């Protein structure tokens, strides 16, 4: 189920009333960050003869452990007064991303399953095993958008009428 648009829509539905626009944008960027790193890296090495070899270096970029350090590094780009908050929002977005990915199936199987290699590696660098709940296939994203799009529109309209709560510094 999860793709970029689905991650953003679920993120918007879940936290839009809690944050002002700038903070919401940071959270939504965090919800896209693991896929941007993994898929972006794959695009970078598409034409390379050893692209399968480089895949082994890209897979750890889509793990909670590595995302922790990437969000920590990205938060250093912000002013010191908002660094902690920016880190929390970026990493919270990443955790939402991983939560949605937990429900996704990979090629090796479906249902609650532990795989030795392939899929997502939640416990990297401790283990390469993958635990997935396996309800949705990646190709099912258009079906989720049929449900999510009207919900996002409704939440957006409701938010415009009531206003955002905001997050104090």
Instruction: Please check whether residue 77 lies inside any domain of the structure.
Output: yes
Query: Is residue 98 included in any domain, yes or no?
Result: yes
In a domain, 22, yes or no: yes
Instruction: Give residue 30's pLDDT band: very low, low, confident or very high (50, 70, 90).
Output: very high
User: Domain total for the chain?
Assistant: 1
Within a domain: 129: yes
| pLDDT recorded at residue 52 | 65
Residue 12, in any domain of the structure: yes
- Rounded to an integer, the average pLDDT of 137-143 is 71
Mean pLDDT, residues 115-125: 66
**Residue numbers of the domain that contains 99:** 4-162
Tell me: pLDDT of 2 over 60.
no
Residue pair 8/36 in contact (Cβ under 8 Å)? The answer is no
Pick the range with the lowest mean pLDDT from 38-42, 53-57, 58-62, 152-156.
Answer: 53-57
pTM here? 0.76
pLDDT at 169 exceeding the cut of 50 = no
The answer on pLDDT for 8 being more than 90 is no
Q: In this structure, is residue 13 part of a structural domain?
A: yes
Residue 116, pLDDT > 70, answer no
Do the domain assignments include residue 169? no
Is residue 153 within 8 A of residue 8, CB to CB? The reply is no
The answer, yes or no, to whether residue 161 has pLDDT greater than 70, is yes
**Cα separation of 162 and 164, whole Å?**
7
Residue 44 has pLDDT above 80, yes or no: no
Which runs of E-coded beta strand occur in 65-145?
A: 113-115, 130-132
The strand pairing partners of 136, in sequence order, are: 104
Asked whether residue 40 is assigned to any structural domain, the reply reads: yes
């Amino acid at each position: 189920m999860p793709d970029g648009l689905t991650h953003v829509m679920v993120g918007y539905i879940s936290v839009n009333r809690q944050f002002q626009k700038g903070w919401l944008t940071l959270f939504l960027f965090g919800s896209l960050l693991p896929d941007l790193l993994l898929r972006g890296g794959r695009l970078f090495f598409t034409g390379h003869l050893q692209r399968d070899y480089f895949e082994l270096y890209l897979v750890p970029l889509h793990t909670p452990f590595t995302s922790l350090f990437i969000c920590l590094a990205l938060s250093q780009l912000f002013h010191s007064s908002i660094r902690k908050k920016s880190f929390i929002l970026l990493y919270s977005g990443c955790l939402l991303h991983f939560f949605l990915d937990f429900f996704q199936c990979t090629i090796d199987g479906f249902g609650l399953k532990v795989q030795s290699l392939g899929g997502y590696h939640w416990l990297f660098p401790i283990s390469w095993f993958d635990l997935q709940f396996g309800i949705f296939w990646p190709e099912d994203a258009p079906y989720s958008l049929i449900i999510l799009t009207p919900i996002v529109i409704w939440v957006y309209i409701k938010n415009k009428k009531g206003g955002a709560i905001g997050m104090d510094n």
